[in-house]
Each structure stands twice: as C-alpha cells, then as structure tokens.
C-alpha cells in the first residue's frame, strides 16, 4: 500500500496557449511522483484546449481535462471549483497557466504538511518573474516579496487575516499554496461571484475563508515563478484603473461573510473598517484623478499614525466592531 499522499494539481486556463505547455511541464518535472493533474478549461477559444488534450492523451493515468457545460466561460472561482470537485488527492495545489513551479515544490511541501496534521494550508516565497521575456530591460526586475509573518510554526486563525488586510504581510500567490482538500471542501472552495473586475480578488476571498478556519504554516523558501506580463488580470486591472473597485467589492463581500459566520474578532473587524475608510470616496471629492489618489495616500498615513500613537483600547472604540 502506498502511504505517500496524493496531491491533486489544478491548472485552470483561458486562452493560454502561449504559456500552458510550460506550466504543465513544470508539473511533469516534479521530483514528487504521486500527483494527478486536472487541466480545467474556462471556455478557451484558442489552441490551449488542444494542448491540454494532448497531455491527457500522453499521460492518461495522470492527466485529465475538464470543462464547463457548453464550454462556458465561468471565471476563475467556478473553474477552480470544478477542478476541486473532481480531485481525489489528500492535498490540493493550484498553478495558473502562465506560472511555473520549481521541480522540488511538491516533494518538499507535501513532506512539510505531513508534519503538521492540524494545518490546512502551507505557502512560501514566490519569485515575481519579469526576466522570462529575455529582454535586457526586464533583467534585474525579478523580486521576492518579504513574507513578514511567523515562520516554520502553525499560525492560528484568524491571525493572518488582519495582517493581509492592513498590508502588514505578503498575501500568498495562488501558485505557492498547498492545502488539505478537507479544509477546502469545508469552507466551500472559491467564491464564484468574483467575476469581471472583481476576479483579481477571488484568491484573497478564498484565503480569508481558509485563515479564519484553519492554522497555516509559512516557509521562507521559494518554489514558484509568478510570471509578470501585460495580459495578466492584475496588470490589466491596474492599466484600466479598476483595482480600487475590485478591492471595494472584496471588502463588501468580506463584511458580509464575517457577519454571516459570526466572526467577532476585534482585530479582524478593526482591520476591515480601517481599509473601508481608506478607500471610501467622500461625495465632495472627484471620482478619479490625482486628488482622490492623494486623499487615499493621506488616509493611509493617518492610519499608520493612529496605529502608533493611540492605545489599542481607544483604537477599538474608534473603529467599532462587527455589524
């Protein structure tokens, strides 16, 4: 009997023929052999589905291709959930079609998770990868964000959520996380309402649910390459000025989720209220431009001063609690 835990790898793709084969190869090249790969098509119209089908035909015992009924485009959350419903592994790992894993990722992460039976999620460092282009001007732009959280020890809920909301810790990249399938199913997977401009926050909504319900372990080790390119959803949202609207959608969802699930932790609500206030646009301010950007910048620094100068009890009163 094989006691090595099976890892279900889920790659979702939408019109990703430029990068998909490289992502799949980074799974095939893993030093850890006990995995299954679910390639989930979100309604592609290019040649990426044919690429996925070729890998499934070449590795029928390891690779499967899934798609929504009628080849619909349902968004990232619904597409990840389709993969989750068909996964059979003890652990789940996610890789977007334009990102890559280093070859020792699954071997090392599965071994770490096996040491922590109470932990539901593990993640590490991620390289923000600009130099993939080979362009001289992109060399030197690669960087790894500082994690800024306790390392190599279980972080109990809900400690990480206020840190994420306040920008005090790096939010993990989807390509970095490995999770127990049981905790993912327990929290209901990804939120499928995060479509359109809100899709860049579907991962953060998912993380919020995980860190509210399970301990997490973070390791200062890089296993992943997060490709930076203009077609990526995060880059597109910045270019079109939709990033703030997407974050406001996420904060409204989070407030409702906290209320519906009876979360009354003061630090969580305080972090949420601060961020809602920072993004709020007073009626007398213009809806865009430098003035609004400057106002949000000023609010950010006022919050930092308040955090440093006011006693915790006064801050709690100032920001209030749950609704």
The rounded distance, in Å, linking the Cα atoms of 27 and 114 is 20
Q: Return the structure tokens found at 30.
A: 């893993």
Residues 206 and 290 placed together within one structural domain of the fold: no
Q: What percent of the chain has pLDDT over 90?
A: 77
Is 80 exceeded by the pLDDT of residue 174? yes
Domain of 271, in residue numbers? 259-319
| Interatomic CA distance for residues 221 and 120, integer angstroms | 18
Same domain, 290 and 202: no
For residue 12, the cross-strand partners are 40
Q: Are residues 156 and 298 in the same domain?
A: no
Give tens-digit pLDDT for 262-312: 999 999 999 999 899 888 776 555 656 676 677 666 776 676 777 766 666
Q: Compute the radius of gyration of the chain from its Cα atoms.
A: 20
Pair (121, 202) in one structural domain: yes
Domain count, the chain: 2
252 lies in a domain? Answer: no
Flag whether 247 is in a domain: no
Same domain, 172 and 273: no
pTM over 0.95, yes/no? no
Separation CA 42–CA 29 (nearest Å): 25
What are phi and psi for residue 219, nearest 5 degrees?
Answer: -120, 135
The C-alpha atoms of residue 138 and residue 141 are separated, in whole angstroms, by: 6
Domain match, 212 and 267 both: no
pLDDT at 21 over 90: yes
Give the Cα separation of 25 and 197 in Å (integer): 30
Q: Is 219 helix (H, G, I), strand (E, B) or coil?
A: strand
Q: Report if residue 133 sits inside a domain.
A: yes
Average pLDDT score over residue span 216-238: 82
DSSP 139: T
Q: 69 and 194 share a domain? A: yes
In a domain, 245, yes or no: no
- State pLDDT tens for residues 126-159: 999 999 999 988 988 999 999 999 999 999 999 9
pLDDT at residue 286, as a whole number: 61
Q: Find the range with the poorest average confidence among 48-57, 74-83, 180-189, 271-280.
A: 271-280
Q: Is residue 306 part of a domain?
A: yes
Check residue 278 and give its pLDDT.
Answer: 86
Give the DSSP letter of residue 155. Answer: B
Domain co-membership, 181 together with 135: yes
3-state secondary structure 11-55: EEECCCCCCHHHHHHHHHCCCCCCEEEEEEECCCCCCHHHHHHHH
Domain presence at residue 246:
no
119 and 207 assigned to the same domain: yes
Verify that 103 and 209 share a domain, yes or no: yes
Tokens of 13: 């793709």
Q: What is the mean pLDDT of the chain?
A: 90
Residue 106: what pLDDT?
98
189 and 98 in a common domain: yes
- Under a CB-based contact definition with an 8 Å cutoff, are residues 211 and 160 in contact? yes
């Amino acid at each position: 009997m094989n006691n090595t835990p099976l890892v279900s790898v889920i790659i979702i793709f939408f019109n990703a023929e430029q990068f998909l084969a490289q992502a799949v190869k980074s799974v095939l090249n893993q030093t850890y052999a006990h995995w299954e790969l679910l390639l989930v098509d979100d309604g592609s119209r290019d040649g990426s589905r044919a690429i996925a089908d070729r890998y499934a035909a070449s590795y029928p015992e390891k690779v499967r291709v899934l798609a929504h009924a009628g080849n619909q485009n349902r968004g990232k959350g619904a597409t990840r959930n389709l993969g989750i419903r068909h996964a059979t592994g003890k652990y789940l790992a996610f890789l977007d079609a334009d990102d890559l894993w280093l070859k020792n990722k699954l071997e090392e992460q599965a071994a770490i998770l096996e040491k922590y039976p109470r932990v539901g999620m593990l993640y590490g460092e991620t390289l923000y990868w600009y130099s993939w282009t080979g362009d001289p001007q992109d060399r030197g732009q690669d960087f790894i964000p500082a994690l800024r959280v306790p390392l190599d020890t279980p972080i109990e809920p809900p400690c990480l959520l206020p840190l994420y909301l306040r920008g005090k810790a790096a939010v993990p990249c989807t390509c970095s996380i490995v999770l127990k399938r049981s905790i993912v199913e327990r929290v209901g997977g990804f939120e499928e309402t995060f479509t359109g401009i809100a899709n860049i926050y579907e991962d953060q909504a998912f993380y919020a649910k995980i860190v509210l319900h399970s301990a997490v372990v973070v390791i200062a080790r890089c296993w992943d390459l997060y490709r930076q390119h203009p077609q990526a959803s995060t880059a597109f949202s910045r270019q079109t000025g939709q990033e703030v609207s997407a974050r406001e959608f996420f904060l409204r969802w989070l407030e409702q989720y906290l209320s519906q699930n009876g979360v009354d932790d003061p630090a969580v609500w305080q972090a949420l209220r601060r961020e809602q206030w920072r993004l709020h646009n007073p009626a007398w301010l213009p809806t865009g431009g430098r003035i609004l950007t400057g106002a949000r910048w000023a609010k950010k620094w006022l919050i930092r001063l308040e955090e440093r100068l006011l006693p915790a009890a006064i801050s709690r009163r100032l920001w209030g609690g749950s609704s």
